[in-house]
Structure 1
Amino acid sequence: MALWHADVCHGPGLTVGGKMRPLRIHAQLDDASRYVVALEGCLDFLGPVASLHDVNVRLCAFLDAHYHVTSHAALLGATPRTVFEAAPRAPDGFDEAKLHEALTTRTRRRVRRDTTVVVDGADYELDAGHLAGRLVHLCRCLVDLGETPWAEFDGKRYALHPVDAVKNSRRKRPLRHPPVHDETSRPHPAFDPPLALLDRAVGRPPRHRDAGES
């Protein structure tokens, strides 16, 4: 169970709704034991079939009654089932939550100034206005493509929802450079270069300094 091989082949055509449809058979094979963990089969054993159900029944019968219990040259005469079942199965605690995380894609993108982003060609927006102009990770889980994508920033998850053009146009935008106003600071004195030179020439103290400075 450390290495699998995957392949696909064409099977006999099936007549569905009066039309001939192509049949493709997918399979995954455990490398060490040659055990088929997910269906492949042998087309020579199919015979005439009329439906996809007929195909699956014949393939499963081929695996259980022939392939898995027949000596394999690559296994020094052992059967795929014997080698496969002899290997210990170490529990790894894998569950749906871990599958969801493993199949989640994350793409680094910058949020627009109107707090919108593009995911797979569709426009979404965030309610978190402080993320405007920030680099975030846009996330989507491939387990369920119907699930709405989301954004992640600084270890937190933020919901995305389709853009409402009317509401978005009326939202207040965060200032790019908020003005800094400190009422306790003193006004900056005016500076007159010629007057400063004249003061220096006649030995007067500079007039542009505040009275408290020397």
Structure 2
Amino acid sequence: MNDIDPKALFRLSVLGPLVSREKLGRGELQQLVRQLASQEYAIPGSRRRHIGEKTWQAWYYAWRREGIAGLADKPRADTGRSKLPEPVQAAVLSAKRENPRRSIRQIRLLLEAAGVVPRDTLSRCAMHRLLQAHGLSRIAGPTVVPDEKRSFVAEHAGSIWYGDVMHGPTLSLGGRRMKTYLVSLMDDASRLIAHGAFCLAETALDIEGVLKQALLKRGIPRMIVVDNGAAYRASTLQAICARLSIRLVYCRPYAPEGKGKLERWHRTLRDQFLAELDISHIRDLADLNARLWAWVEQVYHRNTHSALGNQTPLARYQQDLPRIRLLGSLAAQLDELFLHRVARHVRRDGTVSFQGKRFEVPYELTGRTVLLVVDPHTATVRRVESESGQPLGAATELDAVANLTRRRRKPLPEPASGEPAAPGPNLIELVHQRHYAPES
């Protein structure tokens, strides 16, 4: 018996909700296909996690026509044959053999310049298949020698953390379908998850929130390796790391192998946590994160890893506790380190705006540009600073009703000498004394 194509087996397994039904009612196919397309899958031989609705329909009808054989990949009918004219084939092969470092684009430009083919008529795919059939598709020469890559591991826990974001499940929250994102920080030496949390976005603010909890739980790493996404390039995140003497290192674009251990963690989480997760019990994001943290601390951290010499991540991390940089006295200042500063212009009534609310600041700041010091995680305003970081006073939320009975005055300038100013002449009193004051 011939072996069944593994891809066909995978396609049949995910088609279960469709093929297990003897009959589909009107509109049911489209509804089921839409539901299946919104989920994530571990697709063999691919890094993609989603399957489009048209692909689901094509697989379903192929299974209806041919059974499981219809789900296997079909070989191309023109395999091994080229549709290019013989003279063009000979010119392409000759150009490649003459200079193996020539790319398909360079060969096409050469043949167009030589008048072998008209401009923009030579198919790149046809050229690639022709070169591949003759074993010439790979560019040779020193320019394509791959970069040397070596497996490594940090010598001590707390030396290197990796940060990344993974797409999580879609939840129904408040009557709306909302996508979640898992933000994680992993220790290189121990594979321990310093902290991770599902968020409703993948912004710098979400990443900073996870970093703050990781620091409280696991100390201060010496280096954090992240990708080149805009969220990781945020100036606020860079400033936090600079204040804590953490090196923030960015992976090269299109080089995910730089964080291979974190990619392996994502696969473990998909296979063991998301595959087992019962979304019917999830009412909000807090429910989802509570289950994540329970699984991480009680299951993942306590299972042995062959890469750790059959130690658990928790035991490997605890082995290096004396070397971990603990927060110590910085713990009391941690909230301060994560505050944001936003520039605002003080209005004529002595107020500034932040996230749709108005705040009163010292009235003498009217007309100036100041920095509001805010806690971005609670959307609260702490105080006002100058652009150089000097404290300028408090910022309190505007109470317009109370202001009805309270008059605010701009303070008078103090005398230059620092002594109380003597009262000057008063015109009214002078006129009164001269013309109407009773004679003594």
- Whole-angstrom CA distance in 2 between matches of 1:159 and 1:14: 38
- Whole-angstrom CA distance in 1 between matches of 2:366 and 2:173: 53
User: Is this contact kept in 1: 2:161–2:187, CA < 8 A?
Assistant: yes
What is residue 338 of structure 2 aligned with on the other side? 103
What is residue 269 of structure 2 aligned with on the other side? 42
User: Is this contact kept in 1: 2:163–2:183, CA < 8 A?
Assistant: yes
Change in CA separation of 1:97 and 1:59 when aligned onto 2, cut-off 3 Å: closer
What is residue 394 of structure 2 aligned with on the other side? 158
Give the deviation of 1:160 after TM superposition: 2.3
Aligned length: 176
SS in structure 2 of the partner of residue 139 of structure 1: strand
Higher Rg: 1
What pairs up with 1:38-117 in 2 under 5 angstroms?
38-39=195-196, 41-46=268-273, 47-50=275-278, 51=281, 55-56=291-292, 57-66=294-303, 69-72=304-307, 77=309, 79=311, 80-81=313-314, 83-87=316-320, 88-94=323-329, 97-117=332-352
Change in CA separation of 1:139 and 1:33 when aligned onto 2, cut-off 3 Å: same
- Whole-angstrom CA distance in 1 between matches of 2:306 and 2:374: 45
What is residue 403 of structure 2 aligned with on the other side? 167
User: Is this contact kept in 1: 2:384–2:391, CA < 8 A?
Assistant: no
Give the deviation of 1:81 after TM superposition: 4.2
- Whole-angstrom CA distance in 1 between matches of 2:395 and 2:355: 16
State, as a whole percentage, how many aligned pairs show the same letter.
25
Code of the aligned partner of 2:300: L
SS in structure 2 of the partner of residue 112 of structure 1: coil
TM (norm. structure 2) is: 0.31
User: Which structure has greater strand proportion?
Assistant: 1
Code of the aligned partner of 1:29: M
What is residue 28 of structure 1 aligned with on the other side? 185
Q: Deviations along 1:156-183, whole A, 9 cap, x unmatched? A: 4323222527837984553999xxxxx8
Code of the aligned partner of 1:27: S
Change in CA separation of 1:142 and 1:20 when aligned onto 2, cut-off 3 Å: closer
User: Which structure has greater helix proportion?
Assistant: 2
Code of the aligned partner of 2:350: T
Change in CA separation of 1:86 and 1:159 when aligned onto 2, cut-off 3 Å: same
Change in CA separation of 1:64 and 1:119 when aligned onto 2, cut-off 3 Å: closer
Over aligned residue pairs, what C-alpha RMSD do you find? Answer: 4.5
Greater CA drift, 2-11 or 109-118 = 2-11
Give the deviation of 1:31 after TM superposition: 2.8
Change in CA separation of 1:24 and 1:92 when aligned onto 2, cut-off 3 Å: closer
Change in CA separation of 1:59 and 1:81 when aligned onto 2, cut-off 3 Å: closer
Unaligned runs of at least 5 residues, structure 1: 178-182, 184-214
- Whole-angstrom CA distance in 2 between matches of 1:93 and 1:169: 48
Code of the aligned partner of 2:339: T
Greater CA drift, 49-58 or 158-167 = 49-58
TM (norm. structure 1) is: 0.57
Code of the aligned partner of 2:317: F
Change in CA separation of 1:48 and 1:109 when aligned onto 2, cut-off 3 Å: closer
Change in CA separation of 1:137 and 1:83 when aligned onto 2, cut-off 3 Å: same
User: Is this contact kept in 1: 2:192–2:301, CA < 8 A?
Assistant: no
Change in CA separation of 1:125 and 1:61 when aligned onto 2, cut-off 3 Å: closer
- Whole-angstrom CA distance in 1 between matches of 2:411 and 2:168: 63
Code of the aligned partner of 1:37: A
2:378 equivalent to 1:144: yes
Change in CA separation of 1:22 and 1:100 when aligned onto 2, cut-off 3 Å: closer
User: Is this contact kept in 2: 1:115–1:132, CA < 8 A?
Assistant: yes
What pairs up with 1:7-22 in 2 under 5 angstroms?
7-10=164-167
User: Is this contact kept in 1: 2:357–2:397, CA < 8 A?
Assistant: no
